[in-house]
């Protein structure tokens, strides 16, 4: 049971915990058949809709944020200032879009005869898995990375542990470090439970209904598809599933933009940095590594592959997300949590560059309260010695200060060039001899032509 012994058995452990043979999807060379993996799960989108409906999930309201859109328009040129719509996923069972993923994982676990499920997550997914497992009568264990070495826990993660426990789950809380994956594998092996992974085909197809609903709802109300959908990006499944659902509904021309909180300079596995951030998900510490190396996840091949679907990537600072959280509450009477408001902050900035008859959809909200609330996060930051001020949010230094925009006019985003992300992805193949079929695969992975892949590789060399 040493660390290395368990790591050596990880493929076998994960195979038993999912009953999914990933080897059947492998292609010669570096590639694998992604679409075959997704369809092998055996569920149509109609099946997924029905499973979610039976669990009080889905068909959430799509709300036009008229007052927030008007506020953004104040800072735009005449004729500009897009309409901002919000998909209110906080109305789902467990309070977030993650219930869509959990519904499919729990359904599959029950179908295959597992007695319980395990998920490694410090976020909303844990609460979703716990809630759905309770409905299905399955045991549930959630493994969290919660504390630093001094035993200090991040308020948002502690709140999510409370939610998991409220649904009857056992929560295993760990300090930051490599032991999370080790403990996760040990528990899978010892219990024989199902791996309710965020990154399985079941998890990602559960989110396809979200994109599908957005397309259908906007078309019914506005007689067109949205010009832009913004997805908060961490592990990539949110963006991947939403984009696939939009395409299945016919919204093939809608652009997909990722949004992350800019935590550049903070290392997610660092004991020192762990509590110097005010966001536990939806930030660059997860968003960029999982975008450039999706198979770093807890399954052999991740179903979350955001570069296949991403058209743009925008970064906002922590203070801007807190600012827009307050603006949403004051202007629209909606108090919602930080994850969806990451996309909303980006939408507020982007809207000012788009025409006033164009539509942006922020595709999720989440519940808030206790440690998830911005007041708890700001207080926690100040207790850690983080300076809080008003000013230019682009000057914020993660781990050092929080800068709230001095007004809505000051709320601006950074654009992250996709070429930079694609180059980071390709670094994994620096020492690999690539053949024509490998370039075919990389073309799909990076959403560019084979010639463009070759030019990137040549330029990198």
- The pLDDT tens digits for 336-348 are 999 999 999 999 9
Max avg pLDDT among 179-188, 340-349, 425-434: 340-349
Three-state DSSP class for residue 153: strand
Structure tokens at 287: 């968003």
Give 364-397 pLDDT, tens digit per residue.
999 998 899 999 999 999 999 999 999 999 999 9
Q: What's the CA gap between 25 and 349, in Å, rounded?
A: 41
* CB neighbours of residue 61 within 10 Å: 12
Q: What's the CA gap between 3 and 15, in Å, rounded?
A: 19
pLDDT at 419: 96
3-state secondary structure 413-449: CEECCHHHHHHHHHHHHCCCCCCHHHHHHHHHHHCCC
Give 353-372 pLDDT, tens digit per residue.
999 999 999 999 999 988 99
Q: What's the CA gap between 25 and 36, in Å, rounded?
A: 7
Where does 176-274 show beta strands of DSSP type E?
194-195, 228-232, 255-261
Of 212, 204, 218, which Cα lies nearest the Cα of 86?
218
Give 46-82 pLDDT, tens digit per residue.
999 999 999 999 999 999 999 999 999 999 999 999 9
- Angle of helix 124-136 relative to helix 155-166, nearest 10 degrees, comes to 0
> Is residue 461 pLDDT above 60, yes or no?
no
Contacts of 345 (CB under 8 A, 6+ apart): 259, 316, 320, 321, 323, 324, 411, 413
Q: What's the CA gap between 239 and 204, in Å, rounded?
A: 9
Residue 380 contacts residue 256 (beta carbons within 8 Å): no
> Is residue 3 pLDDT above 90, yes or no?
no
Give 123-179 pLDDT, tens digit per residue.
899 999 999 999 999 999 999 999 999 999 999 999 999 999 999 999 999 998 778
Residue 25 contacts residue 301 (beta carbons within 8 Å): yes
Scored b (16 or more CB within 10 A) or e, 259-268 reads bbbbbeebeb
Which residues, listed in sequence order, are joined to residue 88 by a DSSP beta bridge?
Answer: none
Give 290-337 pLDDT, tens digit per residue.
999 999 988 999 999 999 999 999 999 999 999 999 999 999 999 999
Three-state DSSP class for residue 146: strand
Three-state DSSP class for residue 379: helix
The mean pLDDT value for 117-127 works out to 93
Residue 243 contacts residue 257 (beta carbons within 8 Å): no
Q: How many CA atoms lie within 13 A of 91 on its CB side?
A: 13
The mean pLDDT value for 234-262 works out to 98
How would residue 2 be classed by pLDDT, with cut points 50, 70 and 90?
A: confident
Q: What's the CA gap between 115 and 166, in Å, rounded?
A: 20
Of 171, 13, 20, which Cα lies nearest the Cα of 108?
20
| In the block, residue with structure tokens 């951030």 | 277
The mean pLDDT value for 96-120 works out to 97
Residue 304 contacts residue 314 (beta carbons within 8 Å): no
> Is residue 196 pLDDT above 90, yes or no?
yes
**396 phi/psi in degrees, rounded to 5:** -65, 140
Q: CA Rg, the chain, in Å?
A: 21
pLDDT at 460: 61
Of 104, 92, 93, 83, which Cα lies nearest the Cα of 38?
104
* CB neighbours of residue 253 within 10 Å: 11
> Is residue 35 pLDDT above 90, yes or no?
yes
Share of the chain above pLDDT 70, in %: 100
Of 395, 416, 415, which Cα lies nearest the Cα of 318?
395
Structure tokens at 301: 């091949």
Sign of CA dihedral 372, 376, 382, 384: negative
Residue 125 contacts residue 98 (beta carbons within 8 Å): yes
Q: How many CA atoms lie within 13 A of 213 on its CB side?
A: 26
pLDDT at 7: 87
């Amino acid at each position: 049971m040493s660390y290395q012994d368990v790591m050596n058995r990880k493929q076998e452990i994960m195979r038993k915990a999912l009953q999914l043979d990933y080897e059947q999807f492998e292609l010669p060379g570096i590639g694998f058949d992604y679409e075959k993996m997704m369809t092998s799960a055996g569920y149509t989108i109609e099946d997924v809709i029905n499973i979610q409906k039976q669990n009080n999930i889905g068909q959430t309201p799509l709300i036009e944020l008229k007052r927030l859109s008007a506020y953004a328009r104040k800072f735009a040129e005449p004729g500009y200032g897009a309409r901002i719509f919000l998909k209110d996923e906080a109305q789902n069972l467990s309070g977030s879009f993650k219930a869509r993923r959990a519904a499919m994982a729990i359904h599959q676990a029950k179908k295959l005869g597992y007695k319980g499920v395990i998920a490694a997550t410090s976020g909303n997914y844990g609460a979703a898995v716990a809630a759905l497992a309770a409905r299905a009568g399955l045991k549930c264990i959630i493994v969290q990375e919660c504390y630093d070495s001094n035993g200090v826990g991040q308020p948002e993660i502690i709140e999510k542990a409370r939610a998991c426990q409220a649904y009857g789950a056992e929560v295993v809380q760990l300090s930051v470090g490599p032991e999370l994956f080790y403990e996760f594998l040990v528990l899978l092996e010892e219990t024989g439970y199902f791996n309710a992974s965020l990154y399985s085909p079941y998890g990602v197809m559960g989110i396809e209904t979200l994109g599908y609903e957005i397309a259908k709802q906007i078309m019914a109300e506005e007689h067109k598809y949205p010009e832009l959908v913004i997805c908060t990006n961490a592990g990539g499944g949110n963006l991947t599933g939403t984009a696939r659902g939009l395409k299945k509904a016919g919204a093939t021309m809608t652009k997909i933009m990722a949004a992350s909180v800019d935590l550049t300079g903070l290392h997610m596995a660092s004991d020192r940095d762990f509590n110097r951030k005010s966001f536990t998900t939806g930030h660059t510490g997860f968003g960029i590594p999982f975008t450039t190396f999706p198979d770093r996840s807890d399954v052999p091949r991740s179903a979350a592959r955001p570069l296949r679907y991403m058209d743009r990537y925008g970064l906002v600072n922590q203070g801007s997300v807190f600012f827009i959280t307050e603006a949403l509450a004051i202007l629209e009477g909606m108090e919602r949590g930080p994850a969806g408001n990451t996309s909303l902050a980006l939408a507020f900035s982007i809207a000012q560059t788009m025409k006033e008859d164009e539509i942006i959809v922020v595709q999720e909200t989440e519940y808030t309260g206790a440690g998830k609330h911005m007041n708890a996060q700001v207080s926690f930051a100040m207790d850690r010695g983080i300076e809080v001020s008003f000013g230019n949010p682009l000057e914020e230094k993660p781990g050092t200060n929080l800068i709230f925009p001095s007004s809505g006019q000051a709320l601006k985003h950074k654009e992250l060039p996709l070429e930079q992300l694609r180059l980071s992805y390709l670094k994994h193949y620096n020492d690999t001899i690539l053949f024509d079929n490998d370039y075919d695969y990389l073309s799909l992975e990076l959403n560019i032509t084979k010639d463009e892949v070759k030019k990137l590789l040549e330029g990198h060399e």
